[in-house]
């Protein structure tokens, strides 16, 4: 059986240097108002930084993100749109963690908008002709004082994998207080930051994201055979028996 000292030694030797992680906070609260979701982000991002990951955190509501499913909505009638600049930060990240609160048992409107804008860029291709999100890892963090963590996580993680992100085991974590009106995660006496279940799941999620991102980096992402949109559009169909289409 491994000892605590062995575990500490292994953790100290683990490095994810060279990786980048982006946390998108989909709270409804503008800065500098306290965001309980940000409290959970800090716990996860501290682990990332401890192992050499460059961490970027965005509070989406602080930015003028237009509604729509095109890469740049100023080309579709909107006066302003900060999404193109934010999307550059998405592409810079090996790990994307979408984080947000529960409202009426579902993800926030801000979370929905972020996912819609990610979707609007999902037809872009990488240098191998795959969809641009291939080779990147996704996870989510959910907070609230009402039921719905698993429902919200299912929606986020399904969306991310559908767009091309790779999802590791146990890629979600969250905290909810007592059902109904009550303290939020960072409120004094909530018990949120000390909750063992939340801390365990957040830690496991974070390390699983790190491990899978490193595996993908070592193996140069997802193998390209059979999933290249560029070749498919050119008529090269790997499943076809016709040599003209292979």
Query: What pLDDT digit, counting tens, does each position of 127-174 carry?
Result: 999 999 999 999 999 999 888 999 999 999 999 999 999 999 999 999
pLDDT-based confidence at 178, cuts 50/70/90? confident
CA-nearest of 107, 105, 123, 104 to 115 is 107
Show the CA angle centred on residue 234, arms to residues 132 and 116, nearest 5°. 30
Q: Is the pLDDT of residue 181 over 50?
A: yes
**Predicted confidence (pLDDT) per residue in 195-224, tens digit:** 999 999 999 999 999 999 999 999 999 999
- The full DSSP string for 122-133 is TT-B-TTSSBTT
CA-nearest of 24, 207, 9, 244 to 113 is 24
The reported pLDDT for the residue numbered 207 is 97
Q: Is the pLDDT of residue 9 over 50?
A: no
Residues 6+ apart with CB under 8 A from 245: 235, 236, 237
Radius of gyration of the chain from its Cα atoms, rounded to whole angstroms: 19
Q: Is the pLDDT of residue 57 over 50?
A: yes
pTM: 0.92
Integer Cα distance of 98 and 197 in angstroms: 20
Crossing angle of the two packed helices 109-120 and 149-163, in degrees rounded to 10:
10
Integer Cα distance of 93 and 151 in angstroms: 26
* Average pLDDT estimate for 55-69: 98
The reported pLDDT for the residue numbered 2 is 53
Residue 42 or residue 179, greater confidence = 42
CA-nearest of 221, 174, 240, 146 to 39 is 174
The reported pLDDT for the residue numbered 142 is 97
The reported pLDDT for the residue numbered 180 is 75
Integer Cα distance of 23 and 38 in angstroms: 9
* Average pLDDT estimate for 69-74: 97
Contact 94, 210 (CB under 8 A): no
pLDDT-based confidence at 13, cuts 50/70/90? confident
Q: CA distances (Å), 132 to each of 23, 60, 165, in order?
A: 18, 21, 9
Average model confidence (pLDDT) across the chain: 92
The reported pLDDT for the residue numbered 111 is 98
């Amino acid at each position: 059986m491994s000892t605590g000292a062995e575990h500490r030694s292994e953790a100290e030797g683990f490095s994810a240097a060279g990786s980048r992680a982006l946390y998108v906070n989909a709270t409804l609260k503008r800065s500098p108002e306290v965001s309980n979701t940000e409290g959970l982000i800090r716990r996860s991002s501290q682990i990332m930084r401890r192992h050499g990951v460059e961490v970027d955190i965005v509070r989406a509501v602080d930015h003028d993100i237009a509604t729509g499913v095109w890469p740049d909505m100023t080309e579709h009638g909107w006066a302003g749109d900060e999404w193109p600049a934010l999307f550059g930060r998405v592409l810079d990240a090996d790990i994307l963690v979408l984080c947000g609160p529960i409202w009426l048992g579902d993800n926030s409107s801000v979370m929905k908008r972020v996912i819609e804008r990610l979707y609007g860029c999902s037809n872009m291709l990488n240098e191998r002709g795959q969809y641009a999100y291939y080779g990147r890892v996704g996870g989510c963090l959910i907070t609230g004082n009402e039921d719905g963590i698993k429902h919200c996580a299912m929606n986020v993680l399904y969306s991310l994998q559908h767009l091309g992100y790779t999802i590791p085991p146990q890629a979600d974590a969250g905290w909810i207080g007592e059902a109904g009106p009550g303290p939020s995660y960072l409120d004094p006496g909530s018990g949120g930051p000390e909750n063992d279940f939340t801390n365990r799941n957040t830690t496991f999620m974070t390390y699983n994201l790190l491990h899978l991102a490193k595996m993908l980096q070592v193996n140069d992402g997802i193998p390209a055979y059979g999933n290249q949109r560029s070749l498919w559009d050119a008529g090269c169909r790997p499943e076809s028996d016709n040599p003209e289409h292979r």
